[in-house]
Copies of this chain bind each other. A is one copy, B any other.
Amino acid sequence: MVKNKIDKTAEEKILLAAKKVFTTHGMAGARMQDIADEAGINKALLHYYFKDKEKLFEVIFMEEAQKFFPKINSIFESALPLFEKIERFCDEYITEMMRHPYLAWFIMNELNRDPEKFLNSSWAKANLPNPIRLVEQMEREIKKGTIRRIQPVHLLMHLLSMTVFPFIAKPMMQKALQMDDAHFKKIMEERRKEIPRFIIESIRK
């Protein structure tokens, strides 16, 4: 049974509000007052539960990073055949992006703002995509002759790019291609199958 809004504790309301404001405006553009308003409480309480803006931001960023990164590894390191991995990755990642439309932008944004801070954290070391397994698998498939010669690094970049970029470039894409929200959503749904098909057509021998 899910708690309704009235049942939520203050801390839960703050986290929910902070997530909304930080992910839509970024750290620099977010306002503590907006978070308080969104949560229906006052500013002082924000500082009672979370020391300062920076601390609150870090909690939210880690929550969102959990959604963005770890799933990649669990798929990439599984024992699935290469083509199935690619299919699973696209399908699950697009699901995640559609559930959290601002996720990719938020993460990329903050990583560009201050790359060292997060990327050198112990959490990052443990949870960043570790593509070594996938790269080795690609090399084996090339040796076996099931796929053509291609540098695994590029194949990996192609896959990630085609899956994630449209969500970051959504405003531009919608305008240039004259898509309303429903149309954009439909196109993203199609990409679950389109991207694997596109890749496999290119590399299968």
Binding site for B on A (CB under 8 A): 25-29, 102, 105, 108-109, 111-113, 115, 119, 124, 128-131, 148, 150-151, 153-154, 156-158, 160-162, 164-166, 168-173, 175-177, 187, 190-191, 194-195, 198-199, 201-203
Contact partner of A160 (CB less than 8 A), chosen from B128, B156, B165, B191, is B165
CB distance from A100 to the nearest CB of B (A): 14
Besides A128-B175, A157-B187, 11 other A-B contacts (C-beta < 8 A)? A28-B29, A29-B113, A108-B168, A128-B176, A150-B198, A153-B187, A157-B162, A161-B164, A161-B166, A168-B168, A198-B202
B201 engages A171 (CB within 8 Å): no
Specify how many copies of this chain sit in the oligomer. 2
How many angstroms from the CA of A108 to the CA of B168 in the assembled complex?
A: 7
B25 engages A198 (CB within 8 Å): no
Q: If the complex has contacts A25-B28, A26-B28, A153-B177, are A128 and B172 also in contact, measured as CB distance less than 8 A?
A: yes
CB distance from A165 to the nearest CB of B (A): 4
CB distance from A155 to the nearest CB of B (A): 8
Residues of B within 8 A of A29 (CB): 26-29, 113
B112 engages A171 (CB within 8 Å): yes
How many angstroms from the CA of A105 to the CA of B109 in the assembled complex?
A: 8
A112 engages B151 (CB within 8 Å): no
A190 engages B154 (CB within 8 Å): yes
How many angstroms from the CA of A175 to the CA of B130 in the assembled complex?
A: 10
Task: Give 10 pairs: A residue, B residue, CB < 8 Å, sorted on A.
Answer: A26-B26, A109-B109, A128-B175, A150-B198, A153-B187, A157-B173, A160-B169, A161-B161, A168-B168, A201-B203
Q: Name which residue of chain B comes closest to A108, CB basis.
A: B168
Residues of B within 8 A of A130 (CB): 176
How many angstroms from the CA of A28 to the CA of B34 in the assembled complex?
A: 15
CB distance from A87 to the nearest CB of B (A): 16
Residues of B within 8 A of A202 (CB): 198-199, 201-202
CB distance from A139 to the nearest CB of B (A): 15
